[in-house]
């Protein structure tokens, strides 16, 4: 199978404005522009990440109040999110070139990575296009440790984001069956015993540089 790489970390927010404020207060950085996902009725803001994971970024995502509701559950558990909950890390997305085969292998192990689904998003520079594994219930699995899989068709979004201000210090995933963990070995991503997803990011917060650890609930 092909190499797996961390593509992006997903922070869910009740509103995109809440997510932007959280990013500014947590890291001292304002996220860059994102766009709208018509397939899911969501929108996002993006921030490139430096460190051990090439072409990685932070996605802040929320339900788009101006969009029509989709006929299926939204990704990343957004439909079940408590509107009063603060923005939080919920998931990670892993990039690979053999998405269909890897989904089938994970399904054979008794997991549900989702169904490969084509998606697009318009940008001022053209249309971003990708295939992504989408679960029927929209919920992250294994407390966010089992990644959504993505294969980009064309340009990767980080090519338009500029130089990263935040960097990844460490990403840890846990609670996956050993056979599944063996399929999801990615540069900069460490496997641990405790269930869930944890990411430590470094950036210009308060006085000087500081580290912030985010963890799924």
* CA end-to-end span of the chain: 31
The tens digit of pLDDT for each residue in 59-80 reads: 999 999 999 999 999 999 999 9
Assign domain 5-215 one CATH number from 3.10.110.10, 3.40.50.10860, 3.40.50.620, 3.10.180.10. Answer: 3.10.180.10
What is the pLDDT at residue 209? 59
pLDDT at 205: 64
Q: What is the pTM of this model?
A: 0.95
Q: Are 203 and 212 in contact (CB under 8 A)?
A: yes
Could you give the CA distance from residue 146 to residue 150 in angstroms, rounded to a whole number?
13
> How far is 74 from 136, CA to CA, in rounded Å?
9
pLDDT for position 128: 94
Structure tokens at 136: 């029927």
Q: Give the model's pLDDT for residue 204.
A: 75
Residues 6+ apart with CB under 8 A from 173: 92, 145, 147, 181, 184, 189, 190, 191, 192, 196, 197, 198
Give 10-residue mean pLDDT values along the chain (217 residues). Answer: 89 98 93 95 97 94 96 96 97 96 95 95 92 96 96 94 92 94 92 93 68 93
């Amino acid at each position: 199978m092909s190499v797996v790489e961390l593509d992006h970390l997903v922070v869910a927010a009740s509103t995109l404005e809440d997510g932007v404020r959280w990013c500014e207060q947590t890291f001292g950085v304002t996220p860059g522009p994102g766009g709208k996902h018509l397939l899911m009725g969501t929108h996002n803001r993006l921030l490139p990440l430096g460190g051990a994971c090439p072409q990685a970024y932070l996605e802040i995502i929320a339900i788009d109040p101006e969009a029509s509701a989709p006929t299926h559950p939204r990704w990343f558990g957004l439909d079940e999110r408590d509107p009063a909950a603060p923005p939080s890390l919920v998931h990670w997305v892993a990039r690979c070139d053999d998405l269909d085969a890897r989904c089938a292998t994970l399904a054979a192990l008794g997991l549900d990575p989702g169904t490969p689904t084509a998606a697009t998003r318009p940008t001022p520079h053209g249309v971003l296009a990708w295939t992504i594994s989408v679960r029927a219930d929209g919920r992250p699995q294994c407390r966010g440790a089992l990644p959504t899989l993505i294969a980009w068709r064309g340009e990767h979004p980080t090519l338009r984001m500029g130089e990263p201000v935040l960097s990844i210090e460490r990403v840890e995933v846990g609670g996956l069956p050993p056979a599944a963990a063996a399929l999801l070995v990615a540069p900069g991503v460490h496997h641990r015993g405790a269930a869930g997803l944890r990411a430590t990011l470094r950036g210009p917060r308060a006085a000087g540089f500081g580290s912030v650890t985010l963890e799924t609930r």
